[in-house]
Chain A
Amino acid sequence: MKTQKDIDTNQEYKYGFTTDIESIRAPKGLNEDTIKFISNIKKEPKWMLEWRLKAFNRLKSLKEPNWQKPKYPKINYQDLYYYSAPKSASEKPKSLDEVDPKLIETYKKLGIPLLEQKRLSGVAVDAVFDSVSVATTFKEELTKKGIIFCPISEAIIKHPDLVKKYIGSVIPLSDHYFATLNSAVFTDGSFVYIPPNVRCPMELSTYFRINASETGQFERTLIIADKGSYVSYLEGCTAPMRDENQLHAANVELIALDDAEIKYSTVQNWYPGDKNGVGGIYNFVTKRGACRGKNSKISWTQVETGSAITWKYPSCILQGDNSVGEFYSIAITNNHQKADTGTKMIHLGKNTKSKIISKGISAGNADNTYRGLVDIHNKATNSRNYTQCDSLLMGNKCGAHTVPYIKNKNASSTIEHEATTTKINEEQLFYCNQRGLNQEEAVSLIVNGFCKEVLQQLPMEFAVEAQKLVSISLEGSVG
């Protein structure tokens, strides 16, 4: 039985509602017909379908990786829907006024106003609902600067040269099982192109929402920052509460050319499952950025609080000389949640620098693993890496693990690794209590302090939300 829990009596995950909306689905199952269905409904050119089918053929010879710490029951890929979209969105609305009011209402409930008068100031939003993008705000303003910010399905049709040139150039078609699966069946996501020497005047953001049951979400995002440009992009995610596990397997590719900078932030709040570990999203995501040009920079910031299992390693390939990669992460696991997350910093160019700050917090019966690779190649002269991994444990039943891999083939490089594991300290709690704070306020204060270096990296508009989320995720975990 797939039921939606009564959200009025279950306040801990306030985004757990479902939107009752008529939808169009592809028939269940993973096969060529499904892929053709997706490609056809999105009116894709032939080269895109061929690319998808190539990925599908490659997939047949691949196996799911199994080296990660969190184990999960076998997924029956033939028993999933790969495409689900609100019927009203099947003919793409031309303007926001034509968007189905039910969808507008859904995003409003999620705190993402799409209508003109109530838009988040200074933030352009692309709203993805199951397998389609339903609205993109501030499009005209961005177009004036030559910035392209649109659903990837639209970019495939309108900007095929850019898509063709860059898609799969960072995450190859046959990279690994989930990335290849995504290449075959991806449905929607955002496309961003910033022209040379343009500083994007506002935050770009995509809000991903899974609504339909028994449906996997396979989003694909492609961001290209041309020479000397800058963009800050943020994604948010939520899903209804269901007692089934739903698969979210996204691919995100970033490309920074000479002197360009991309700042990519994630606030991931997929449904984590209930207190007993029933339900929740499997968040198996491949995120990779290429600092292709000299002096380029890619910075990943992630706040991972949701999902039953989070399994992702936003990475940087530092090809250009003097390029910089950064990874700032907060991963919070409570109850029965599991996370295996970290980053890969691949140093190829000279004088490349990378910085990794990871904060893992475990409570309840949860398990949290940092897994990271620092790989310095022989031509990466004078490269530097600094890694700091801190784990905070709350209670006696949770776990924290740190698995750093370090490969160094260049003697002129410098690598630093620091790691700490601490338990939330009873005396600290007592101290806060004695100053009038109750247990939850005290935990929130201490944990936010622990995460501070990462929270500081978030765009201002979202930092406050993220702080609250950090506190809410840990409610009831002490005492």
Chain B
Amino acid sequence: MLNIKNLKTTVNDKSILNGVNLEIKSGEVHAIMGPNGSGKSTLANVLSGKNGYKNSGDIIFNGENLNEVSIEERAQKGIFLAFQYPLEIPGVNTNNFLKTSLNTIRKARGQKELDTLEFLKLVKNKAQELDIDEKFLSRQLNVGFSGGEKKKNEILQMKLLEPKLSVLDETDSGLDIDALKIVANGVNSSRSKDNAFLIITHYQRLLDYIKPNFVHVLSKGKIVKTGNSELGEELEKSGYANI
């Protein structure tokens, strides 16, 4: 599904990624761990096509080179980024935002757009599945949401948009254990042979609930170690210092 080849990224002449190679196949869950400043969030942003980065190397997604593809087209092709810090957009109703987003993506996929009633039914179901209070759907997008609510809203959007590749950028940070379970449940219930996940995290505790197929350690802009889920547990004990 995703093949990252020798990806190098600089921001303002400072190099952040120094040749990342990573292959993710359909049906897989990958976790990326690593110390602060190792380039984890940069990798997530570059995958989504965010401006402001100078990149070399290739990102191949379902056989297509994404180097020249815009942010919204990547989203329409099925790349979803759960933000580390979801943005507040005052005056915009959450339901309205979700509907606009879903219909834009459905349209790009050649699917029929949903009318308001169909949408409300769908979003209600998804919210229930995730044990999310419907009330926040009628509030302004992320405005006045707690940290946990914002993250849950990201997972709800992921469930709704049904992306092929979901990138979760430290979605677990700042969550209490209940919210953490909701996030993990969101991922686990979405896992299928047709999609894949890239989970960026500092801590093992999220991986107690989501069992990844692979764990990678990112350090100084390079993947320095790859292993199975036991690597996460190992890191939890001994830290990154020995890697």
Contact of A433 among B71, B86, B97, B161 (CB under 8 A): B71
Instruction: Establish whether residues A425 and B87, one from each chain, have CB atoms under 8 Å apart when the complex forms.
Output: yes
Contacts of A451 in B (CB 8 A): 91
Selecting from B22-30, B99-107, B187-195, the interface stretch reads B99-107
Q: Do A430 and B91 form a contact, CB below 8 Å, given A437-B100, A437-B101, A445-B97?
A: no
Instruction: Establish whether residues A436 and B91, one from each chain, have CB atoms under 8 Å apart when the complex forms.
Output: no
Instruction: Establish whether residues B101 and A453, one from each chain, have CB atoms under 8 Å apart when the complex forms.
Output: no
Instruction: Establish whether residues A435 and B157, one from each chain, have CB atoms under 8 Å apart when the complex forms.
Output: yes
Instruction: Establish whether residues A434 and B91, one from each chain, have CB atoms under 8 Å apart when the complex forms.
Output: no
Instruction: Establish whether residues B48 and A434, one from each chain, have CB atoms under 8 Å apart when the complex forms.
Output: yes
A425 to B86 Cα, complex, angstroms:
13
A110 to B70 Cα, complex, angstroms:
36
Q: Do A436 and B108 form a contact, CB below 8 Å, given A428-B87, A441-B100?
A: yes
B90 at the interface (CB under 8 A from A): yes
A423 at the interface (CB under 8 A from B): no
B64 at the interface (CB under 8 A from A): no
CB-CB contacts below 8 Å: A419-466 with B = 425-428, 430-439, 441, 445-446, 448-453
| CB of B2 to closest CB in A, whole Å | 16
Interface string of B67-94 (1 = CB under 8 A from A): 0001110011000110100110111100
Instruction: Establish whether residues A438 and B87, one from each chain, have CB atoms under 8 Å apart when the complex forms.
Output: no
| CB of A62 to closest CB in B, whole Å | 42
Instruction: Establish whether residues B90 and A449, one from each chain, have CB atoms under 8 Å apart when the complex forms.
Output: yes
B50 at the interface (CB under 8 A from A): yes
Contacts of A428 in B (CB 8 A): 87, 89
Instruction: Establish whether residues A448 and B91, one from each chain, have CB atoms under 8 Å apart when the complex forms.
Output: yes
A453 to B76 Cα, complex, angstroms:
31
Contact of A436 among B50, B104, B140 (CB under 8 A): B104
Q: Do A434 and B75 form a contact, CB below 8 Å, given A446-B89, A449-B92, A453-B91?
A: yes
| CB of B147 to closest CB in A, whole Å | 16
Instruction: Establish whether residues B72 and A445, one from each chain, have CB atoms under 8 Å apart when the complex forms.
Output: no
Closest to B140 in A: A449
Instruction: Establish whether residues A431 and B86, one from each chain, have CB atoms under 8 Å apart when the complex forms.
Output: yes
Closest to B109 in A: A436
Instruction: Establish whether residues B72 and A437, one from each chain, have CB atoms under 8 Å apart when the complex forms.
Output: yes
Instruction: Establish whether residues B83 and A431, one from each chain, have CB atoms under 8 Å apart when the complex forms.
Output: yes
A452 to B92 Cα, complex, angstroms:
8
Instruction: Establish whether residues A436 and B87, one from each chain, have CB atoms under 8 Å apart when the complex forms.
Output: no
A188 to B241 Cα, complex, angstroms:
82
CB-CB contacts below 8 Å: B23-50 with A = 48-50
A67 to B100 Cα, complex, angstroms:
45
Interface string of A182-224 (1 = CB under 8 A from B): 0000000000000000000000000000000000000000000
A160 to B114 Cα, complex, angstroms:
57
Instruction: Establish whether residues A434 and B81, one from each chain, have CB atoms under 8 Å apart when the complex forms.
Output: yes
Instruction: Establish whether residues B91 and A433, one from each chain, have CB atoms under 8 Å apart when the complex forms.
Output: no
Closest to B50 in A: A430
Contact of A446 among B71, B92, B105, B157 (CB under 8 A): B92
Contact of B87 among A427, A437, A452 (CB under 8 A): A427
Most chain B CB atoms below 10 A, which of A425, A427, A448, A449: A449
| CB of A450 to closest CB in B, whole Å | 6
Contact of A431 among B80, B87, B105 (CB under 8 A): B87
Most chain A CB atoms below 10 A, which of B48, B86, B91, B105: B91
A352 to B50 Cα, complex, angstroms:
52
Contacts of A437 in B (CB 8 A): 72, 100-101, 104
A426 to B51 Cα, complex, angstroms:
10
A84 to B104 Cα, complex, angstroms:
48
Most chain A CB atoms below 10 A, which of B49, B71, B76, B83: B71
A439 to B100 Cα, complex, angstroms:
14
| CB of B123 to closest CB in A, whole Å | 14
A428 to B97 Cα, complex, angstroms:
12
Instruction: Establish whether residues B104 and A441, one from each chain, have CB atoms under 8 Å apart when the complex forms.
Output: yes
A446 to B140 Cα, complex, angstroms:
12
Most chain B CB atoms below 10 A, which of A426, A433, A439: A433
Closest to B142 in A: A431
Q: Do A436 and B89 form a contact, CB below 8 Å, given A431-B83, A445-B97, A445-B100?
A: no
Instruction: Establish whether residues B75 and A433, one from each chain, have CB atoms under 8 Å apart when the complex forms.
Output: yes
Closest to A479 in B: B51
Instruction: Establish whether residues B92 and A436, one from each chain, have CB atoms under 8 Å apart when the complex forms.
Output: no
A437 to B83 Cα, complex, angstroms:
16
A435 to B48 Cα, complex, angstroms:
10
A441 to B105 Cα, complex, angstroms:
13
A7 to B108 Cα, complex, angstroms:
31
A395 to B188 Cα, complex, angstroms:
43
A432 to B92 Cα, complex, angstroms:
12
Contacts of B48 in A (CB 8 A): 434
A367 to B157 Cα, complex, angstroms:
38
| CB of A328 to closest CB in B, whole Å | 14
Q: Do A450 and B90 form a contact, CB below 8 Å, given A434-B75, A436-B75, A436-B108?
A: yes
Contacts of A432 in B (CB 8 A): 89
Instruction: Establish whether residues A436 and B105, one from each chain, have CB atoms under 8 Å apart when the complex forms.
Output: yes
Closest to B101 in A: A435
Q: Do A450 and B101 form a contact, CB below 8 Å, given A431-B83, A434-B75, A435-B157?
A: no
Contacts of A434 in B (CB 8 A): 48, 71-72, 75, 80-81, 83
A426 to B80 Cα, complex, angstroms:
18
Closest to B107 in A: A436
A446 to B87 Cα, complex, angstroms:
12
Q: Do A436 and B97 form a contact, CB below 8 Å, given A450-B90, A451-B91?
A: no
A431 to B104 Cα, complex, angstroms:
14
Contact of B91 among A431, A435, A449 (CB under 8 A): A449
A332 to B174 Cα, complex, angstroms:
40
* Apart from A426-B51, A449-B92, 10 more pairs, CB < 8 Å: A425-B87, A430-B50, A433-B49, A435-B157, A436-B76, A436-B101, A437-B72, A449-B91, A449-B140, A450-B91
17 contacting pairs across A/B (C-beta < 8 A): A425-B87, A431-B86, A431-B87, A433-B49, A433-B72, A434-B81, A435-B101, A436-B72, A436-B104, A436-B161, A437-B100, A437-B101, A438-B72, A445-B92, A446-B89, A452-B92, A453-B91
The residues of A with any CB-CB pair to B shorter than 8 Å are: 425-428, 430-439, 441, 445-446, 448-453
The residues of B with any CB-CB pair to A shorter than 8 Å are: 48-51, 70-72, 75-76, 80-81, 83, 86-87, 89-92, 97, 100-101, 104-105, 108, 140-141, 157, 161
Closest 7 CB pairs of A and B: A449-B91, A449-B92, A452-B91, A433-B71, A435-B101, A431-B87, A436-B104
